[in-house]
A and B are shown apart, each in its own frame.
Chain A
Amino acid sequence: MEHFDLSLVNWSRAQFALTAMYHWVFVPLTLGLAFIIAFMETLYVKTGDEEWKRITKFWMTLFGINFAIGVATGIILEFEFGTNWSNYSWFVGDIFGAPLAIEGIMAFFMESTFIAVMFFGWNKVSKKFHLVSTWLVAVGANLSALWILVANGWMQYPAGMYFNPDTARNEMHNFWEVLFSPVAINKFLHTITSGYVLAAIFVIGVSAWYLLKGRNILLAKRSIIVAAVFGLVTSIFLALTGDGSAYQVAQKQPMKLAAMEGLYEGQEGAPLVVVGALTPGKQHDDDKDPYIFRIQIPKMLSFLGYRSGDAFVPGVKDIVEGGYTYVDKNGVEKVALSAEQKIERGKIAIKALADYTAAKDANDTAAVAYYRAILNDNFEYFGYGYLNNPKSIIPNVPLTFYSFHIMVALGFLFIGFFMLILYLVYFRQFKINKWILRLSILMIPLAYIASQTGWIVAEVGRQPWVIQDILPTVAAVSRIDSSAVQITFFLFFTIFTALLIAELRIMFKQIKIGPKEGGK
Chain B
Amino acid sequence: MVDTTYIFLQHYWWFIISLLGALLVFLLFVQGGQTLIYTLGKTELERTMLINALGRKWEFTFTTLVTFGGAFFASFPLFYSTSFGGAYWVWMAILFCFIVQAISYEFRSKPNNFLGQRTYEVFLYINGLLGTILLGTAVATFFTGSMFSVDKMNLTNTSNPVISSWETPWHGLEAALNLHNLALGLTVFFLARTLAILYFMNHVNHNAIFERAKKHLLYNALPFVVLFLVFTIWLMLRDGFAVNPADGTVFMAKYKYLHNFIQMPVVLIVFLVGVLLVLWGIAKSLISNYTKGIWFTGAGTVLAVLALLLIAGWNNTAYYPSTFNLQHSLTIFNSSSSKFTLTVMSFVSLLIPFVVAYIWYAWKSINVKQIDEEEMKSESHVY
Residues of A within 8 A of B (CB): 3-4, 57, 61, 64-65, 67-69, 71-76, 78-79, 81-91, 93-98, 100-106, 108-110, 112-117, 119-122, 124-125, 129, 133, 164, 167-169, 171-173, 175, 347, 350-351, 353-354, 357, 385-386, 475, 477-481, 484, 488, 491, 495, 498-499, 501-503, 505-506, 508-510, 513, 516
Contact = CB atoms under 8 A, between A and B. Distances in A.
A379 B69 CA distance: 31
A87 B162 contact: yes
A130 to B, nearest CB: 10
A79 B69 contact: yes
B359 A113 contact: yes
B59 A506 contact: no
A269 B219 CA distance: 79
A104 B67 contact: yes
7 contacts: A71-B59, A72-B102, A90-B164, A105-B348, A108-B63, A109-B67, A114-B362
Contact of B161 (A87, A94, A103, A516): A87
A480 B148 CA distance: 12
B106 A65 contact: yes
B166 A479 contact: yes
Nearest to B169: A481
B122 interface: no
Contacts of A4: 159-160
Contacts of B366: 116-117, 120-121, 124-125
A169 B99 CA distance: 32
B208 interface: no
A122 B380 contact: yes
Contact of A506 (B73, B85, B107, B152): B107
Contact of B96 (A88, A89, A109, A495): A495
B78 interface: yes
Interface in B227-244: none
A164 B338 CA distance: 10
A89 B106 contact: no
Contacts of B85: 82-87, 89, 478-480
B164 A98 contact: no
A94 B84 contact: no
B98 interface: yes
A495 B112 contact: no
Nearest to B352: A105
A7 to B, nearest CB: 14
Interface string B349-368: 10110010011001101101
Interface in B149-204: 152-153, 155-156, 158-166, 169, 171
B31 interface: no
A1 B63 CA distance: 40
Contact of A350 (B66, B155, B355, B362): B155
B376 interface: no
Given A68-B102, A101-B74, A116 B355 contact: no
Nearest to A133: B362
B88 A171 contact: no
A443 B101 CA distance: 32
A169 B166 CA distance: 20
Interface in B118-164: 152-153, 155-156, 158-164
Contact of B379 (A76, A120, A506, A513): A120
B67 A81 contact: no
A61 B171 CA distance: 41
B355 A478 contact: no
B188 to A, nearest CB: 19
Interface in B309-357: 337-338, 340-341, 344-345, 348-349, 351-352, 355
Interface in B57-84: 59-60, 62-63, 65-67, 69-71, 73-75, 77-78, 80-84
